[in-house]
Every structure is written in C-alpha cells, then in structure tokens.
Amino acid sequence: MALASLARRKGHLLSRTFSNQTSEVFRCSLSLTSFARGFASSGSDESDVVVIGGGPGGYVAAIKAAQLGLKTTCIEKRGTLGGTCLNVGCIPSKALLHSSHMYHEAKHSFSNHGVKFASVEVDLPAMMGQKDKAVSNLTRGIEGLFKKNKVTYVKGYGKFISPSEVSVDTIDGGNTIVKGKNIIVATGSDVKSLPGITIDEERIVSSTGALALKEIPKKLIVIGAGYIGLEMGSVWGRLGSEITVVEFASEIVPSMDGEIRKQFQRSLEKQGMKFKLNTKVVGVDTSSGGVKLTLEPAAGGEQTTLDADVVLVSAGRTPFTSGLGLDKIGVETDKGGRILVNERFATNVSGVFAIGDVIPGPMLAHKAEEDGVACVEFIAGKVGHVDYDKVPGVVYTHPEVASVGKTEEQVKALGVEYRVGKFPFLANSRAKAIDDAEGLVKVLADKETDKILGVHIMAPNAGELIHEAAIALAYDASSEDIARVCHAHPTMSEALKEAAMATYDKPIHM
Ligand SMILES: Cc1cc2nc3c(=O)[nH]c(=O)nc-3n(C[C@H](O)[C@H](O)[C@H](O)COP(=O)(O)OP(=O)(O)OC[C@H]3O[C@@H](n4cnc5c(N)ncnc54)[C@H](O)[C@@H]3O)c2cc1C
Ligand SMILES: NC(=O)c1ccc[n+]([C@@H]2O[C@H](COP(=O)([O-])OP(=O)(O)OC[C@H]3O[C@@H](n4cnc5c(N)ncnc54)[C@H](O)[C@@H]3O)[C@@H](O)[C@H]2O)c1
C-alpha cells in the first residue's frame, strides 16, 4: 500500500523520505503546535498562511491552504504567477522543444512517411509568439485559480521584518505589511553564474536569454551538459545552430543511469551535438563582436579556444533568498544557501516554513508542488508526505529520457543484489509502426524479493511512460506485478511490461 494512504489509515504523521531511508516511513511524534502557529479568527487582517513566491511550490501551497479553509495570501514580485517554471522554465522550454521538433521532423522525417513539402522554413517570431501565448494563458490561469479559491494576491517584493510580518514593496511603488500566523518561503532559485563570466542575456545568456534569442545563432556553445544545456541545445540545434557542449564532469547528466546515459549521448551526437567533456571554461572574450572561450582540461593542461555567436551558461541553479531578510529573523541555511527544514518543512524559526528549490532536494517543479501540498497539510494539522526517492526526472529531448528510483550505480553502491531487465523499442511494434524506435526500458529489481528499485526509459514519450513505473514504486510493486498487468496493444507501454518480464523471466518479443 502507498505510504501516504497507509499513514492516513494509521493516523501517523509522515516526513519526507530520503535516499538513505528508502521505503522507511519516518514516524514523527512531535506536537503540531511546536511548528505551526494556529489559525486567525475571521475578520482579522492576519492571514493563517502567507506564501512568499508564486512559483509551482508557492502557488500550489497557497491554493491547497485556501482549499483547507485557511485564510491565505501569496506575495509574488515578478507581476505574473507561476514562478520560474511557467514564466522562464518548464513551459516556454517545452513549447520551443515541441515547435523545433515539428520543424526538424518536417525537414528530416516526414518524407519517410510519404509527406512531402516544396520547402520548410522557420518563422522564429511566430515560434516565439506561440511560446509566449502558452506562457501567458497559463500564468493568467493561475490568477483565475487564486480568485476561485479566494487566495489574496499581493504583487511585490517581500522581506521579513519579524517571523510573522513581511514588508512588501509593491510593484506599483507602494509598501504594505502582510501579517501571517504561518509564513512559507517559496522563493525558488536563480541561475548559477560562473567566475569571470558576465551574463548579458544577448551574447552570453542564461536559460532565460536562450528562450528568447532574436535570431538563430550559427554557433552556440553550451556550458554544462545538464537538463537545461541538453534541452536548450536541442532546440537551437534542431533550428540549425552548430552546438558544442562543454562539460566539467566526465559524463553528461551525471545523475543519470550510466548505461542509459551512454546511449543518450550517442543519440545526441547523431543529431549533431558535439561534446567536450572533462573540460572547463577559464576565460571569455567578447571584444571581437562574437564570443571567444578559452578552455582547459578539467585536470589542468594545454588551453584551447572556441568561437561562438552565443554562449549559454547552464551550470546549475542556486537558491534565491536575496533581500528576503532571513538573517534578520535567524533562519538557518546550509553552505549553498538552501534553507534548512525538518520533516514538516519547518525552519528553525517557529511559524516559518520553506519549500521547493530554496530547500535541499531535486530542483524540479513537481517536487516543489508536492512540498507545497505536504507543508500546508502539516500546518493544517493533517498528514503530509513527499518521498524524494520516488520523484521522477525527465529530460525532454528527443528521445526523452525519464527515470524514477535508483540507478544501477546507486543499487551497486548500496550492496543490494539485483536483477536487470531490458527491452529495446526496436522490438516494440508501436515504435516500429511510427518509425521512432530509438531507446529502451531498463528495470532494476531486488534479486531476492523482485521489488522494483528503479526504472529508466529512453523513448520519444518517456516522460509519459515513466508514471506507470512511479506508481509501481510507490506501491512497492515487483517486476512480476507489472509484467502480469494486461497492457494495450500496440503501445509503447508494452516495452515496460516486456522489460519487467525480462527482469525475472524472459520477454516474449525478443
Ligand atoms: C529553463 C528551465 C527549464 C526547466 N524545466 C523544468 C521541467 O521541464 N520540469 C521541471 O520539473 N522543472 C523544470 N525546471 C525547474 C523548475 O522551474 C523549478 O524547479 C521550479 O520552478 C521551482 O519552483 P519554486 O516554486 O520552488 O520556485 P520558482 O519557480 O523559482 O518560484 C519562485 C518565485 O518566487 C518569487 N520571489 C522570489 N523572491 C521573492 C520575494 N522576496 N518576494 C516575492 N516574490 C519572490 C520569484 O519571482 C519566483 O516567481 C526548469 C528550470 C529552468 C530554468
Ligand atoms: N526537464 C527538467 O526537469 C528540467 C529542465 C531544465 C532545468 N531543470 C532543473 O533546473 C536545474 C538547473 O539546470 P542546469 O542544467 O543548469 O543544471 P544541472 O545541475 O542539471 O547541470 C549542470 C551541469 O553543469 C556542469 N557544470 C557545473 N559547473 C561547470 C563548469 N564550470 N563548466 C562546465 N560544466 C559545469 C555540471 O557538471 C552539470 O552536468 C536542474 O537542477 C534541473 O533540476 C529541470
């Protein structure tokens, strides 16, 4: 049974669970009053819950708090809701990934299906317009949800003046004090800059600039082979840019299962992406009109140079707490500036909570949303639960790469005896029918119990396929449990069934 529903039945309070506590439910017996401050009487100008930041963590927390009957205010400085994800992250990047994929398919694959054009061209302003329309529809939609749920929305920059008061410099130039019995910090993250590299959002861009380039660069250098670098590199590569990715580590997306990562890198190379691994950028010169980067092997050695029209800095993100006044009220952070919280998302200061990118854990929108729901459930005296071991991760390239649970390297490091089942999409009838059969499913299961430990998928729609595996993990399913469920034919999902079969027995179609 899923941990959360089990806990609800037993009336236990659950914490977030961490990688070194896989499947361990942490049962907390501390009284709620030591964290939350109770609720306002109606008519008071004090909110029960004040959320600073209107991103996926903050806006979801605000809506959930209002749904639980708590008087709720959300403070957001950017003028639109949805945070990094909706405004300059998940949504605009997926819009451009989809548009650029359609162009690439039209140019390179449609003729294989008997669909021919006289010519295909990119209309970049129209492509950007489609992206902007998606963003504004969605951000306005959240404002609508705030109205529907009676969340008070304050547009401005919030800073603590006490643990229960936030001073807000409003975007219309005024100032107001917002009081809250419980205050949730959901201020998210910002791009991590690199020493000696100044981002001007024109020639040297962060992801925000890379989502709004006015022309297609002839040469684009990407610093960092992580999520952003590979997704944005794919967008511009498909539209015609020459892409070189410079990565400090010896591999791309270091958190990925090694076997999948190797196939993924080969696939990106086939698409024309070049990789310089084990390499660091030591100098940048913009005096010539373009950009000249000086590179050096990560371990030191002979320097080389590389020219580009645009350089994307995508070497990670850093928690955003600037100007928030955390030091004024004594909230503890770690060395990296992330706010330290306990299993109920409470900081060391009574009544102050934190969620999302600003606390330790994966920097993902869906994780921030889960944090937000669990945090307000705790505040409301209910059960909250997020299992960081079962948060799916997806790179939205083509093919997509998605995973949930442990990589083979992590399973080995734990000393667990395990079995591996694999199934290639080349043997999947739907993938062959649509002529998009690159990739595989890999299932890792405990050798003794057959319990699924991790699932890794490289496929055109891996980001959708992974949730069957996420549910299996949440319910502690075995690989045989998945394999014995009837899967519709012909679907890509059948590859997961066959990989599960291959884990404890033999697949049929291989
Ligand atoms: C290019 C890109 C693509 C991404 N793609 C994906 C993806 O496909 N899937 C995925 O899961 N994740 C993706 N992410 C990561 C995702 O955007 C973040 O994990 C997510 O937005 C974190 O949510 P959050 O609510 O913690 O913070 P944020 O979304 O960063 O929101 C914080 C909000 O707080 C506001 N704020 C900060 N300080 C104050 C203050 N003092 N007063 C008032 N307001 C304040 C900010 O303006 C911001 O709007 C992507 C990120 C980027 C940059
Ligand atoms: N599809 C998604 O879910 C998605 C998409 C985009 C962003 N995000 C989130 O946003 C966050 C930030 O993304 P990101 O791609 O910037 O970070 P990342 O952590 O995914 O990757 C950064 C990469 O840069 C490398 N690097 C670090 N310093 C370097 C240097 N000096 N020179 C060369 N390489 C260097 C790292 O080794 C790493 O491979 C991620 O944590 C991710 O969770 C998620």
pLDDT in tens, 184-212: 999 999 999 999 899 999 999 999 999 99
47-190+319-380 against 399-504: fold identical: no
Nearest CA to ligand 1 atom 53: 89
Architecture of domain 204-315: 3-Layer(bba) Sandwich (3.50)
Of 205, 227, 371, the one to substitute when testing ligand 2's pocket (max ligand atoms within 8 A of C-beta) is 227
Helices 365-379 + 56-67 axis angle, to 10: 30
Q: What's the rounded Cα separation, in Å, for the pair 159 and 473? A: 40
Ligand 2 atom nearest to CA at 362: 43
Sheet of 400-405: strand order equals 393-395, 400-405, 452-459, 440-446, 418-424
79 DSSP 8-state letter? S
Position 321: which residue type?
T
All residues at 6 or more sequence positions from 470 whose CB lies less than 8 Å from its CB, including other chains: 390, 392, 404
Q: Residues 9-39: pLDDT tens digits? A: 333 334 455 443 333 222 232 334 345 666 6
Reading the block at residue 5, the tokens are 């529903």
Reading the block at residue 121, the tokens are 């061209």
Ligand 2 centroid vs 224 CA: distance in angstroms? 6
Q: Residues 230-275: pLDDT tens digits? A: 999 999 999 999 999 999 999 999 999 999 999 999 999 999 999 9
In 330-364, which residue ranges form alpha helices assigned H by DSSP?
none
User: Which residues share a beta bridge with 231?
Assistant: none
169 DSSP 8-state letter? E
Nearest CA to ligand 1 atom 52: 89
Pairs from 363-369 (Cβ < 8 Å, separation ≥ 24): 363/189, 363/317, 364/391, 364/393, 365/55, 365/56, 365/85, 365/89, 365/90, 366/56, 366/391, 366/392, 367/391, 368/55, 368/56, 368/57, 368/60, 368/85, 368/186, 368/188, 369/56, 369/57, 369/60
Q: Does residue 421's CB lie within 6 angstroms of at least one atom of ligand 1?
A: no
User: Given pLDDT bands bounded at 50, 70 and 90, which one contains residue 393?
Assistant: very high
User: Is 473 annotated in some ligand binding site?
Assistant: no
Q: Does residue 395's CB lie within 6 angstroms of at least one atom of ligand 2?
A: yes
Assigned superfamily of 399-504: FAD/NAD-linked reductase, C-terminal dimerisation domain (3.30.390.30)
Ligand nearest to the CA of 366: 1
Domain boundaries, the chain: 47-190+319-380, 204-315, 399-504
Are 318 and 308 in contact, with CB atoms under 8 Å apart? no
Write out the catalytic residue numbers: 489
Q: Does residue 394's CB lie within 6 angstroms of at least one atom of ligand 2?
A: yes
Of 93, 268, 306, 317, the one to substitute when testing ligand 2's pocket (max ligand atoms within 8 A of C-beta) is 317
**With the C-alpha atoms ordered 350, 353, 358, 362, is the resulting torsion angle positive or negative?**
positive
Q: Does residue 256's CB lie within 6 angstroms of at least one atom of ligand 2?
A: no
User: Is 277 annotated in some ligand binding site?
Assistant: no
> ∠ CA 84-85-88 to the nearest 5 degrees?
60
Q: Does residue 225's CB lie within 6 angstroms of at least one atom of ligand 2?
A: yes
Of 189, 248, 251, 338, the one to substitute when testing ligand 2's pocket (max ligand atoms within 8 A of C-beta) is 248
333 DSSP 8-state letter? B
Mean pLDDT of 216-238: 98
- Rg of the Cα atoms in the chain: 24
DSSP symbols for 432-486:
HHTT----EEEEEEETTT-BEEEEEEEETTHHHHHHHHHHHHHTT-BHHHHHTS-
User: Is 339 annotated in some ligand binding site?
Assistant: no
* Between residues 279 and 28, the one the model is more confident about: 279
Q: What's the rounded Cα separation, in Å, for the pair 65 and 72? A: 7
Q: Does residue 319's CB lie within 6 angstroms of at least one atom of ligand 1?
A: no
Tell me: ipTM over 0.95: yes
Instruction: Label the pairing between strands 204-205 and 310-313.
Output: parallel
Are 430 and 449 in contact, with CB atoms under 8 Å apart? no
Q: Which residue has the tokens 């162009």?
A: 103
Q: What's the rounded Cα separation, in Å, for the pair 15 and 271? A: 43
In 150-247, which residue ranges form alpha helices assigned H by DSSP?
207-210, 227-238
Ligand 2 atom nearest to CA at 314: 16
The reported pLDDT for the residue numbered 41 is 47
The reported pLDDT for the residue numbered 399 is 98
All residues at 6 or more sequence positions from 449 whose CB lies less than 8 Å from its CB, including other chains: 478
Backbone angles phi, psi at 369, to 5 degrees: -65, -45
Backbone angles phi, psi at 488, to 5 degrees: -65, 150
The reported pLDDT for the residue numbered 347 is 98
Q: Does residue 153's CB lie within 6 angstroms of at least one atom of ligand 2?
A: no
Q: Inform me whether the pLDDT recorded for 110 exceeds 60.
A: yes
All residues at 6 or more sequence positions from 32 whose CB lies less than 8 Å from its CB, including other chains: 378, 381
The reported pLDDT for the residue numbered 70 is 98
User: Given pLDDT bands bounded at 50, 70 and 90, which one contains residue 288?
Assistant: confident
Ligand 1 centroid vs 357 CA: distance in angstroms? 7
CATH of span 47-190+319-380:
3.50.50.60
Q: Inform me whether the pLDDT recorded for 508 exceeds 90.
A: yes
Q: Does residue 89's CB lie within 6 angstroms of at least one atom of ligand 1?
A: yes
The reported pLDDT for the residue numbered 287 is 87
Q: Residues 406-433: pLDDT tens digits? A: 999 999 999 999 999 999 999 999 999 9
Query: What is the chain's mean pLDDT, rounded?
Result: 93
Ligand nearest to the CA of 400: 2
